[in-house]
């Protein structure tokens, strides 16, 4: 394999470790031209009626549905996701665009009675929205930003992760096929350090939506502050699942592997810390081990595979370095022999205050920890700087709701591992981010409210006749 030039990315299939394509990078000059085209396209896009924008987004959703297998194959090849999961991700992208195709006609202003007249409000699009998407769920997370931004009347410049640009480029092609006007949705490929930073600093990019690490999110926020532009940040997570002694242990144990290890743990919502109340701790472990053994790890093209490889050799080495020799290992699964960036599904039982409990692992590793009281576990769950997601398992409805309210995280589930639904708001607290995506209020994050006052005291009719004469 020859070395890449500074103007291209070499894409490596994570399951094989082999190069399969090279993708050219956009230059700063190219990106500036694309942003300028997006600014010009904005006038045409905003001029369409809400119904016309919705109609075009619905056509876009249908084009995505028709391209499902192609999109899934791209995700398998560039990100290493199992094909069954990749198809579900393509379906989610379709569903997100379908959902937001109905939003333009329902994003209503208000009428406010005030002294001397009436005030009415309008939701005005911001202009050009720059979206910086991650590599772990390259298609769905891009769609979370693109769909509401377009529905609200903005144009979009999307910068996918350097490791996973192919799905985004395919979406750009499908948007054109669906009839979206030229320049309304564009993709720029290249390094985040260069082009992501450039989008954040560019004076004609009016909003940034970023998903990625907390450290990079802080840099994006600082760059955007140069032009006082709003940002939405969905950042890291080191989430917890809390299993109380009265829980349905069989259900909790059966759901724990997927909650912690979905996408090989490369999920900012992964419940990688599992706190189990001490009286049922040993029983929970006995139920968890068979559930871990049942995981199918292997070829992502096999529809029965549940766990694929990590994204890169460098990331695999980072995950391995976090599982230090001083951590007791409760379970270690098997991985395919040969090439690819594989890491075995692993369960550890770290001592209190071990560094792995304060670090987002982002790999197929979950930590089991006993606890005694409700107050204790809430304190321990809240002990990290993150606050994105989590789960509570209990048959006591009051305890479940009380614990959920006390945990400082943006997305919590009771007796479930599901955190993300496109119909509900999604986002983090603390170092896990700023703002919310998805749900019925998503368009509020990509618009500004304009207030117009209409005076009830118009010109007197006789005065108006004199002026006309």
User: Which positions are annotated as active-site residues?
Assistant: 234, 268
CB proximity list for 105: less than 8 A, separation 6 or greater: 50, 51, 54
Name the 3-class secondary structure at 198. helix
Cα angle, residue 114 at apex, residues 108 and 116 outer, rounded to 5°: 125
For 355, what's the count of Cα atoms within 13 Å in the CB-facing half-sphere?
Answer: 7
The answer to whether the beta carbons of residues 226 and 367 sit under 8 Å apart is no
The CA distance from 207 to 217, in Å, is 14
The CA distance from 45 to 52, in Å, is 10
For 225, what's the count of Cα atoms within 13 Å in the CB-facing half-sphere?
Answer: 6
Torsion of CA 364, 384, 219, 210, to 10 degrees: 60
Q: How far is CA 432 from the centre of its chain?
A: 12
Question: What distances in angstroms separate CA 248 from CA 187, 192, 279, 283, 370, one per listed residue?
Answer: 46, 44, 14, 12, 17
Name the 3-class secondary structure at 359. coil
The DSSP line for 292-353 is HHT--BS-TTSTT--B---S-HHHHHHHHHHS-TTSPEEEE----SSSS-----EEE-PPTT
């Amino acid at each position: 394999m020859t070395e890449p030039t500074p103007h291209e990315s070499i894409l490596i299939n994570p399951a094989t470790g082999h190069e399969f394509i090279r993708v050219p990078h956009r230059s700063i000059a190219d990106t500036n031209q694309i942003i300028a085209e997006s600014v010009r396209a904005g006038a045409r896009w905003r001029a369409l009626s809400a119904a016309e924008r919705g109609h075009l987004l619905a056509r876009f959703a249908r084009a995505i549905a028709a391209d499902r297998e192609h999109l899934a194959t791209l995700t398998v090849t560039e990100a290493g996701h199992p094909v069954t999961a990749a198809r579900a991700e393509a379906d989610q992208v379709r569903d997100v665009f379908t959902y937001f195709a109905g939003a333009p006609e329902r994003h209503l202003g208000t009428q406010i009675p005030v002294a001397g007249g009436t005030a009415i409000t309008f939701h005005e699009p911001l202009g050009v929205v720059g979206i910086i998407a991650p590599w772990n769920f390259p298609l769905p997370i891009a769609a979370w930003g693109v769909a509401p931004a377009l529905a609200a009347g903005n144009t979009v410049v999307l910068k996918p992760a350097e490791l996973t640009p192919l799905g985004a480029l395919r979406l750009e092609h499908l948007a054109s096929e669906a009839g979206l006007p030229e320049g309304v949705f564009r993709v720029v490929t290249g390094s985040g350090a260069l082009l992501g930073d450039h989008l954040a600093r560019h004076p004609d990019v009016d909003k940034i939506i970023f998903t990625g690490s907390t450290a990079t999110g802080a840099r994006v926020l600082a760059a955007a502050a140069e032009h006082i532009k709003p940002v939405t940040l969905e950042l890291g997570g080191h989430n917890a699942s809390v299993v109380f002694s009265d829980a349905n242990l069989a259900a909790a144990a059966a759901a724990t592997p997927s909650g912690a290890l979905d996408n090989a743990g490369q999920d900012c919502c992964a419940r990688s810390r599992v706190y189990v109340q001490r009286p049922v701790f040993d029983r929970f472990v006995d139920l968890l081990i068979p559930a871990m053994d049942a995981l199918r790890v292997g070829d992502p093209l096999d529809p029965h595979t549940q766990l694929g490889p990590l994204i890169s050799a460098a990331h695999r080495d980072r995950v391995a370095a976090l599982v230090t020799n001083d951590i007791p290992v409760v379970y270690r699964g098997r991985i395919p022999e040969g090439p690819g960036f594989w890491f075995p599904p692993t369960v550890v039982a770290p001592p209190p205050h071990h560094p792995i409990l304060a670090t987002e692992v982002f790999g197929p590793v979950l930590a089991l920890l006993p606890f005694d009281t409700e107050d204790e576990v809430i304190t321990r769950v809240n002990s990290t700087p993150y606050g994105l997601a989590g789960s509570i398992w209990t048959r006591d409805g009051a305890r479940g709701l009380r614990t959920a309210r006390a945990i400082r995280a943006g997305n919590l589930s009771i007796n479930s591992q599901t955190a993300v639904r496109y119909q509900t708001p999604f986002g983090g607290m603390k170092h896990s981010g700023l703002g919310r995506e998805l749900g019925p209020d998503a368009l509020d994050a990509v618009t500004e409210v304009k207030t117009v006052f209409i005076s009830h005291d118009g010109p007197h009719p006789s005065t108006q006749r004199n002026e006309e004469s």
